Amino acid sequence: MKVLRNHFNNNPTVVIHGRIINGCRNFTLEEAPNILKYYKVPDDIWQEVLDVYSPTSTDEEIESFINDENFYIRKLVAIYGNDKHRDALINDKSMDVRNSVAIYGNDSHRDILVKDKISFIREAVARHGNSSQHDILVKDEDWVVRVNVARFGSNSHRELLKNDTDLHVRNIAIFKLRKK
List pLDDT tens digits, range 50-91.
999 999 999 999 999 999 999 999 999 999 999 999 999 999
Question: Number of H helices and number of E strands within the chain?
Answer: 12, 4
Q: In this structure, is residue 169 part of a structural domain?
A: yes
Is the residue at 73 inside a domain?
Answer: no
pLDDT above 80: residue 142 = yes
Whether residue 95 lies inside any domain: the answer is: no
Looking at the domain assignment, is residue 135 inside a domain? yes
pLDDT of residue 88: 98
The reported pTM is 0.92
80: in domain: no
Residue 143 located in a structural domain:
yes
Q: Is residue 91 part of a domain?
A: no
Q: How many domains does the chain have?
A: 1
pLDDT tens per residue, range 7-44: 977 889 999 999 999 978 999 999 999 999 999 999 99
Instruction: State the residue range of the domain holding 126.
Output: 107-180
